[in-house]
């Protein structure tokens, strides 16, 4: 039991540790995944800044290419030199701008003269011209001969613009600005390159995005909160944002250019790895990793677990199951009467304690009012040898001497007492059967032998033969009477299955049938009766007939008779209780008939074995109540 | 307009007026243009980039602090134009109580405000062709910005003394002041770049001020 408990404890601790590890193991993985997602976002932001810079250069080159258009150059030179028909120049320039606008798919084209005055527009406010835009640093630089790019916030929209000077021979004749709107198309193109979601913000609102997650509503406040960081570092660290049940990781970065003052920013977003959970882990394994699990590498782990289970089962079987079964078998043998005590030395640990407790109970009940006899050094009384197996539980102990009725002093054979014939109706003056006691109490009250208190080796020999066992089965007495009277036969038959031969009878040594005082071999009473003493059977039947006279006045009893009556009454109650416990009917068992039979049997046995008295014990045989008589010297 | 800008000679009608003539020179390093606001700024590769002198006019103002105060002079009114999406001039100097008129000559509205003193000058749209008059009662430097066009950036310098003037394209200025001891201060590129004593004794006082190249300018209030 100790090892099985220790093994169970070890297994439990191992399982608990494994569970804790299974719950905690995803956390470092989760951190690594989030760290990796953050690094991925930072790389994406770096790539995005490069992408925007390269894209700005492309637009700058486009502006420079358009600025070389001869028509534009000529028209802007005229406008710069003035006086000229500015309306005509405007139309000319605007036609060219529309042409390029359609050709290059730009969203904004502006042409200015050398003073920064707008000559024509395309894509935005096409009807407006003659206004000055030289205040834009980008235009001012272009008028000086520099190419550059910028971001403008115009009419609530964000444009990425590039400008180039318009050169007319040896002088600067104006500037040309092209622009691209920052919208969903740009977000989608950036997403294709960066493999992350992209959103654009301007003045605290989301302009456009590559997708529409719920986290978009949180982005303006994030940009406001990290404005200083964006200005200083050029981007924010990866930020975890949970919104609408969605978990995202975002990186904020401002647009380079004038619109940065309007909080123009782009946001790169990736979904955060899901929260670690056992369910998620299992579902993930089942959905994607089941086919790729390295079963070969896991085989040692599975084998170790299987070995642990087998060891645990073996330990349980060795330390728990087998002793329990052994104790159960011995308890059944005790119930059958095959043994008189439990062999507590054979049972380890607490089972031995249980066996000792049972033996102590047997001692206490078996001694009656007498104090328990101290146990001798070898207190066990081994069960009688069995005919069927011939095997003894403890070969070292000498077997009980066989009871031989043909010996000079016949030993008392086991006596079976037939259960009374069921009466049509119970007698009114008979004691009412008491309800069965609880199982524990029943166990303590079960069949009782006197022998444990009478070790043969130490106690003085009674007048009985030295080798005779004092245990006598009442049924054997009935058989030994040798009565072939039909009444006796009926009596045996009336007992029905209650009197089927018990293994105890089979264990008894064979006796000579029909001898002077012999007892027939153990047999069932259903067999043809071979009663050895018909006179005793007749006497018993005569008592039974007398006991039917219930209305006859009873003489006053002596104290000894009262004690006998009380004892027989107790035996009757035990018999009734046992029958009820076994589920047998008790309607036909009348007290007077039962006690009458017991008295007759008692008288027979006292006469036969010269004993002082006879103790009747109720026990269960094959699931039914049976009775056993023991001569007490 | 240019005459108006140069004529910001706030002192006038002073008995025994003395004239202070001076010139402000800025270092070559300060002529370097501002960094590009975008990713790129490259030359065109065909013609050399036009080298323009730094914008001294409208960028530098000179103030003489100390001396006798003028009594009974009405606070003047100074006009600033919004044209070509920029302020002209970018730096305005006026005595306390002066009214600055911002005249929107652009085709788009402008929403000007004092970036460092929104309680004094809150954002307020000025439609195209309209003028916004703003009175500054307290001395100080007010940075004027436009909510719609971040590149529009100007400064209104309100002084306690009436002796202040803006320089012309060459950095020259002229002030008529009473005799006395003054402290000459030069506002350049968002801060007081020069502070030095000046004694006006003769009829005409000539002075040449060199803005030190490494001089760390004193930031305006609230910046």
Interface test with B, best of A62, A67, A130, A145 (most B CBs within 10 A): A145
The verdict on residue B143 lying in a domain is yes
Which of these, A105, A107, A110, A74, lies nearest to A92 by C-alpha position? A74
Question: What pLDDT sits at residue A277?
Answer: 72
Asked whether the beta carbons of A222 and A254 are under 8 A apart, the reply is: no
The verdict on residue B45 lying in a domain is no
CA-derived radius of gyration, chain A: 56
Number of structural domains found in chain B: 1
Structural tokens at position B98? 């002066």
The verdict on residue B78 lying in a domain is yes
Give contacts of B47 with chain A, Cβ < 8 Å.
Answer: 145, 165, 167, 170-172
Kindly report, residue by residue over B112-158, the tens digit of the pLDDT. Answer: 999 999 999 999 999 999 999 999 989 999 999 999 999 999 999 99
Give contacts of A148 with chain B, Cβ < 8 Å.
Answer: 36, 38, 40-42
Tell me which H or E stretch contains B102. Answer: strand B99-104
pLDDT class for B16, splitting at 50, 70, 90?
low
Question: What pLDDT sits at residue B83?
Answer: 93
**Which residue shows structure tokens 């146990």?**
A375
ipTM of the shown complex: 0.84
Kindly report, residue by residue over A140-196, the tens digit of the pLDDT. Answer: 999 999 999 999 998 889 999 999 999 998 899 999 999 999 999 999 999 999 999
**Could you tell me the CATH number of the domain that includes residue B104?**
2.60.40.420
Q: Nearest by CB to B47, which of A128, A145, A151?
A: A145
Residue B158: helix, strand or coil by DSSP? strand
Structural tokens at position A481? 């009477």
Please enumerate residues of A whose Cβ is less than 8 A from a Cβ of B. 52-53, 56-57, 60, 64, 116-117, 128, 131-138, 141, 143-151, 153, 162, 164-165, 167, 170-172, 256-259, 261-262
- Its sign, for the CA torsion A278, A279, A283, A286, is positive
Question: What pLDDT sits at residue A400?
Answer: 41
- Residue A12 CB-density burial (10 A; 0-12 exposed, 13-18 middle, 19+ buried): exposed
Structural tokens at position B75? 């606070």
* Pairwise CB contact (< 8 Å): A53 & B39: yes
Q: How far apart are CA A255 and CA B187, in angstroms?
A: 32
Task: Please state, in angstroms and as integers, the Cα–Cα distance from residue A267 to each residue in A38, A39, B151, following that order.
Answer: 13, 15, 24
Q: Angle at Cα B108 formed by Cα B102 and Cα B109, nearest 5°?
A: 50
pLDDT class for B72, splitting at 50, 70, 90?
low
* DSSP 8-state assignment for residue A228: H
Q: Nearest by CB to B107, which of A131, A172, A257?
A: A131
**Of 3.30.450, 1.10.357, 3.90.1690, 3.10.180, which CATH number belongs to A2-47+185-278?**
3.30.450
- Interstrand relation of B18-25 and B204-210 (parallel, antiparallel or unpaired): parallel
DSSP string, B35-82: PPSSS-EEE-SSSPPPP-----TTTEEEEEESSPPPSSPPPPEEEEEE
B16 or A163: which leads in pLDDT: A163
Asked whether the beta carbons of A506 and A333 are under 8 A apart, the reply is: no
- Residue A382 CB-density burial (10 A; 0-12 exposed, 13-18 middle, 19+ buried): buried
Question: What pLDDT sits at residue A169?
Answer: 85
The verdict on residue B86 lying in a domain is yes
Asked whether the beta carbons of B184 and B194 are under 8 A apart, the reply is: yes
Q: How far apart are CA A3 and CA A315, in angstroms?
A: 7
Asked whether the beta carbons of A575 and A627 are under 8 A apart, the reply is: yes
Asked whether the beta carbons of B158 and B221 are under 8 A apart, the reply is: no
Asked whether the beta carbons of A107 and A122 are under 8 A apart, the reply is: no
Q: How far apart are CA B135 and CA A279, in angstroms?
A: 70
Question: What pLDDT sits at residue A138?
Answer: 94
Q: Angle at Cα B71 formed by Cα B66 and Cα B77, nearest 5°?
A: 90
Give contacts of A266 with chain B, Cβ < 8 Å.
Answer: none
CA-derived radius of gyration, chain B: 18
Question: What pLDDT sits at residue A420?
Answer: 43
Asked whether the beta carbons of A442 and A581 are under 8 A apart, the reply is: yes
Which of these, A310, A615, A333, lies nearest to A474 by C-alpha position? A615
Give contacts of B108 with chain A, Cβ < 8 Å.
Answer: 131
Question: What pLDDT sits at residue A518?
Answer: 38
Residue A480: helix, strand or coil by DSSP? helix
Q: Which residues pair with A482 in a beta bridge?
A: A534
The sheet carrying B87-88 orders its strands as B87-88, B77-82, B99-104, B131-135
Query: Using CA atoms in the order A250, A255, A259, A265, what is the torsion angle rounded to 10 degrees?
Result: -10
Alpha carbon of residue B49 to chain centroid: 28
Question: What pLDDT sits at residue B71?
Answer: 66
Structural tokens at position A304? 């170790």
Question: What pLDDT sits at residue A521?
Answer: 38
Asked whether the beta carbons of B55 and B88 are under 8 A apart, the reply is: no
Q: How far apart are CA A250 and CA A206, in angstroms?
A: 14
Q: Nearest by CB to B84, which of A128, A133, A262?
A: A133
Question: What pLDDT sits at residue B51?
Answer: 77
Structural domain of B202: 2-28+54-219
DSSP string, A189-218: HHHHHHSSEEEEEETTEEEEESS--GGGGG
Cis preceding linkage at B89, omega within 30: yes
Q: How far apart are CA A452 and CA A30, in angstroms?
A: 73
Q: For chains A and B, count residue pairs whose Cβ atoms are closer than 8 Å.
A: 102
Task: Write the CB contacts of B113 (distance below 8 Å, at least 6 apart in sequence).
Answer: B121, B122, B123, B124, B144, B145, B146, B147
Q: How far apart are CA A517 and CA B89, in angstroms?
A: 151
Kindly report, residue by residue over B179-202, the tens digit of the pLDDT. Answer: 888 999 999 888 898 999 998 888
Task: Write the CB contacts of B141 (distance below 8 Å, at least 6 apart in sequence).
Answer: B116, B155, B156, B157, B158, B187, B220, B221
Residue A586: helix, strand or coil by DSSP? coil
Give contacts of A143 with chain B, Cβ < 8 Å.
Answer: 50
Closest approach of B86 to chain A, Cα-based (Å) = 5
Task: Write the CB contacts of A8 (distance below 8 Å, at least 6 apart in sequence).
Answer: A312
Check if B86 contacts A (Cβ < 8 Å). yes
Kindly report, residue by residue over A374-425, the tens digit of the pLDDT. Answer: 444 433 433 444 444 444 444 444 444 443 434 444 444 444 444 444 444 4
Which of these, B167, B207, B164, lies nearest to B9 by C-alpha position? B164
* Pairwise CB contact (< 8 Å): B85 & A132: yes
Cα distance from N-terminal residue to C-terminal residue, chain B: 29
Q: How far apart are CA A242 and CA B61, in angstroms?
A: 53
Query: Using CA atoms in the order A52, A57, A63, A66, what is the torsion angle rounded to 10 degrees?
Result: -120
Domain ranges of chain A: 2-47+185-278, 67-181, 298-365, 404-548+559-632
Kindly report, residue by residue over A8-20, the tens digit of the pLDDT. Answer: 899 899 999 988 8
- Interstrand relation of B99-104 and B77-82 (parallel, antiparallel or unpaired): parallel
Q: How far apart are CA A619 and CA A449, in angstroms?
A: 10
**Which residue shows structure tokens 């749209």?**
B125
B8 or B25: which leads in pLDDT: B25
Which of these, B55, B33, B22, lies nearest to B194 by C-alpha position? B22
- Its sign, for the CA torsion A431, A436, A437, A440, is positive
Closest approach of A146 to chain B, Cα-based (Å) = 5
What's the predicted TM-score (pTM) here?
A: 0.58
Q: Taking a contact as any Cβ pair under 8 Å apart, which residues of chain B between 6 and 45 contact chain A? A: 33-34, 36-44
Structural tokens at position A31? 């951190």
Asked whether the beta carbons of A532 and A519 are under 8 A apart, the reply is: yes
Question: What pLDDT sits at residue A389?
Answer: 40
| E-strand stretches of A89-170 | 108-113, 118-122, 146-154, 157-168
Architecture of domain A67-181: 2-Layer Sandwich (3.30)
Task: Please state, in angstroms and as integers, the Cα–Cα distance from residue A264 to each residue in A219, A222, B26, following that order.
Answer: 12, 13, 35
Q: What is the mean pLDDT of chain B?
A: 83
Asked whether the beta carbons of A37 and A54 are under 8 A apart, the reply is: no
- Interstrand relation of B41-43 and B140-146 (parallel, antiparallel or unpaired): unpaired
Asked if A2-47+185-278 and A67-181 have one fold, the answer is yes
Cis preceding linkage at A83, omega within 30: yes
The verdict on residue B177 lying in a domain is yes
Give contacts of B35 with chain A, Cβ < 8 Å.
Answer: none
**Could you say which residues of chain A have pLDDT below 50?**
367-553
DSSP string, A300-314: HHHHHHHHHHHHHHH
Q: State the CB neighbour count (10 A cutoff) for residue A33.
A: 15
Asked whether the beta carbons of A356 and A379 are under 8 A apart, the reply is: no
DSSP 3-state helix, strand, coil percentages of chain B (rounded to 5)? 5, 45, 50
Residue A185: helix, strand or coil by DSSP? helix
Asked whether the beta carbons of B184 and B1 are under 8 A apart, the reply is: no
The verdict on residue B40 lying in a domain is no
Q: How far apart are CA A403 and CA A544, in angstroms?
A: 29
């Amino acid at each position: 039991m100790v090892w099985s408990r220790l093994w169970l404890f070890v297994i439990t601790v191992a399982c608990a540790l494994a569970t804790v590890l299974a719950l905690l193991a995803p956390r470092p993985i989760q951190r690594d995944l989030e760290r990796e997602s953050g690094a991925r976002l930072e790389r994406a932001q770096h790539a995005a800044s490069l992408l925007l810079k390269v894209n700005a250069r492309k637009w700058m080159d486009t502006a420079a290419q358009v600025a070389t258009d001869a028509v534009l150059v000529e028209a802007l030179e005229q406008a710069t030199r003035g006086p000229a028909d500015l309306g005509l120049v405007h139309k000319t320039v605007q036609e060219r701008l529309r042409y390029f606008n359609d050709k290059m798919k730009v969203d904004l084209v502006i042409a200015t003269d050398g003073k920064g005055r707008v000559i024509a527009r395309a894509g935005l406010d096409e009807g407006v011209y003659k206004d000055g835009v030289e205040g834009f640093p980008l235009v001012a630089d272009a008028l000086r001969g520099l190419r550059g790019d910028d971001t403008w916030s115009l009419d609530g929209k964000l444009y990425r613009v590039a400008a180039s000077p318009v050169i007319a021979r040896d002088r600067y004749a104006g500037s040309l600005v092209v622009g691209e709107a920052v919208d969903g198309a740009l977000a989608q193109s950036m997403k294709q390159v960066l493999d992350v979601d992209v959103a654009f913000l301007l003045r605290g609102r989301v302009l456009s995005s590559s997708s529409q997650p719920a986290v978009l509503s949180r982005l303006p406040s994030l940009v406001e909160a990290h404005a200083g960081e964006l200005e200083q570092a050029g981007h924010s660290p990866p930020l975890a944002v949970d919104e609408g049940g969605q978990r995202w990781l975002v990186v904020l970065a401002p647009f380079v250019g004038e619109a940065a003052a309007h909080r123009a920013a782009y946001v790169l977003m990736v979904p955060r790895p899901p929260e670690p959970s056992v369910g998620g882990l299992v579902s993930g394994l089942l959905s994607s990793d089941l086919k790729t699990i390295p079963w070969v590498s896991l085989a040692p782990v599975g084998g170790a677990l299987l070995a642990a289970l087998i060891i645990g089962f073996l330990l349980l079987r060795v330390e728990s199951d087998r002793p329990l079964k052994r104790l159960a078998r011995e308890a059944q043998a005790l119930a059958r009467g095959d043994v008189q005590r439990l062999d507590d030395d054979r049972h380890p640990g607490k089972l031995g304690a249980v066996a000792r407790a049972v033996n102590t109970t047997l001692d206490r009940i078996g001694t009656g009012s007498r104090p328990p006899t101290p146990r001798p050094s070898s207190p066990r009384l081994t069960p009688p040898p069995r005919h069927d197996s011939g095997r003894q539980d403890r070969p070292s102990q000498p077997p009980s001497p066989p009871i031989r009725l043909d010996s000079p002093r016949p030993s008392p054979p086991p006596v079976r007492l037939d259960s009374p014939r069921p009466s049509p109706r119970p007698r009114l003056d008979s004691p009412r059967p008491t309800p069965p006691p609880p199982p524990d109490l029943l166990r303590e009250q079960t069949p009782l032998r006197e022998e444990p208190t009478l070790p043969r080796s130490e106690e003085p020999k009674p007048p009985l033969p030295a080798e005779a066992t004092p245990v006598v089965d009442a049924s054997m007495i009935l058989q030994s009477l040798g009565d072939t009277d039909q009444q006796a036969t009926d009596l045996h038959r009336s007992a029905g299955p209650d009197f089927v031969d018990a293994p105890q009878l089979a264990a008894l040594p064979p006796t000579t049938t029909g001898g002077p005082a012999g007892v027939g071999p153990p047999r069932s009473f259903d067999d043809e009766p071979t009663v050895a003493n018909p006179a005793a059977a007749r006497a018993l039947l005569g008592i039974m007939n007398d006991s039917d006279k219930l209305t006859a006045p009873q003489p006053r009893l002596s104290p000894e008779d009262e004690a006998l009556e009380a004892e027989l009454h107790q035996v009757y109650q035990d018999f009734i209780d046992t029958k009820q416990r076994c589920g047998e009917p008790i309607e036909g068992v009348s007290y007077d008939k039962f006690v009458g039979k017991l008295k007759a049997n008692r008288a027979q046995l006292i006469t036969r074995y010269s004993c002082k008295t006879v103790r009747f014990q109720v026990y269960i045989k094959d699931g039914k109540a049976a009775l056993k008589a023991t001569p007490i010297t | 307009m240019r005459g108006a800008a140069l004529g910001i000679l706030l002192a006038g009608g002073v008995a025994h007026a003395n004239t202070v003539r001076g010139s402000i020179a800025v270092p070559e390093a300060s002529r370097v243009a501002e960094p590009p606001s975008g990713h790129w700024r490259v030359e065109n590769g065909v013609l050399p980039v036009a080298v323009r002198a730094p914008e001294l006019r409208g960028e530098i103002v000179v103030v003489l602090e100390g001396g006798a105060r003028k009594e009974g002079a009405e606070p003047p009114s100074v006009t600033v134009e919004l044209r070509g999406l920029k302020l002209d001039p970018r730096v305005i100097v006026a005595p306390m109580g002066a009214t600055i008129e911002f005249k929107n000559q652009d085709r788009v509205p402008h929403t000007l405000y004092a970036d460092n003193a929104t309680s004094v000058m809150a954002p307020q749209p000025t439609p195209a062709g309209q003028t916004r008059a703003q009175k500054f009662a307290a001395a100080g430097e007010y940075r004027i910005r436009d909510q719609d066009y971040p590149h529009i950036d100007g400064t209104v310098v309100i002084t306690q003394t009436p002796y202040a003037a803006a320089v012309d394209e060459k950095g020259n200025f002229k002030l008529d002041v009473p005799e006395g001891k003054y402290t000459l201060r030069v506002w350049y590129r968002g801060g007081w770049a020069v502070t030095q004593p000046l004694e006006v004794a003769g009829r005409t006082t000539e002075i040449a001020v060199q803005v030190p190249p490494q001089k760390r300018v004193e930031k305006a209030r609230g910046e």
